[in-house]
Amino acid sequence: MENQRSLHIALIGDYDPQITAHRAIPIALELVSKQAGHHIGFQWLATDLITDSAVLNDFDGVWCVPGSPYRNESGVLQAIRFAREQRRPFLGTCGGFQHAVLEYARNVMGWADAAHGETTPDAERALLTPLSCALIETIDCLELDADSLIAKAYGRLKVFEGYRCSFGVNPQFERDLLSDRLHAVARDSAGDLRAVELGDHPFFVATLFQPERAALEGRVPPLVSAFVEACRRTAS
């Protein structure tokens, strides 16, 4: 490997070896490390230990991983806000997508009452609600926006990815949520929102699907590779 500083990535989530994505993520980072020639260090940050964004200062990137409901929702939202405001590369997958949208709604849109329907099902503004058909161990086709970071990562406009998810953006709020800053960059075969990006950020990508799962089949996940490259660029 090239003689350069090791990258240091924060994995925001409550580690559970029973969660497929949690087993896949270290493998994905190892595959990207070998392919790109960067040494990648990572640290799982349990959500109940995130009480101050200062714990994230020394990380080159933030990945909010699947596994919601998290033990400490406010810690997760604090970490996402840190990445957004400090312009640190951010990747959110599955639960990370849901909470990236929630953080944006509360702190950018000013929707203080926005809530996750998984933990607050009776909320008046339940921004994340049960999918009409739960995506449990499902693979679906995705259409990517041509100008998006995610399309550049994959090098094509149509991809197939896997899910283990039951909640998505409430269609009632989607039109108002998406704006010049927060873009819809992937929709599934039914036209439903499956990924977003922040247009005014070096790398802020959140997907309802779990691209890391490709690593369990020995394949380098293109989006993880793009995330790591963004971490390298901003760290240098």
**What pLDDT digit, counting tens, does each position of 12-39 carry?**
999 999 999 999 999 999 999 999 988 9
Q: What is the pLDDT of residues 139-164, one digit of tens each?
A: 889 999 999 999 999 999 999 997 78
At which residue do the structure tokens 């799982």 appear? 44
Helix segments in 86-182, DSSP class H: 95-107, 149-154, 171-177
Residue 175 contacts by C-beta under 8 Å, 6 or more apart in sequence? none
pLDDT at 40 over 80: yes
For all residues of the chain together, what is the average pLDDT? 93
DSSP 212: G
CA-based nearest residue to 70, from 100, 95, 105: 95
| pLDDT band per the 50, 70, 90 thresholds, residue 1 | very low
Q: Is residue 167 over pLDDT 60?
A: yes
The predicted-structure confidence for 190-226, as pLDDT tens digits, reads as follows 899 999 999 999 999 999 999 999 999 999 999 999 9
List, for residues 129-143, the tens digit of each pLDDT value: 988 666 666 788 999
Q: Is the pLDDT of residue 229 over 80?
A: yes
Residues 6+ apart with CB under 8 A from 173: 105, 125, 127
- pLDDT of 236 > 80? The answer is no
pTM for the whole thing? 0.95
pLDDT band at 166 (very low <50, low <70, confident <90, very high): confident
Q: Who's near 196: CB < 8 A, 6+ residues apart?
A: 97, 100, 101, 178, 182, 183, 184, 185, 205, 206
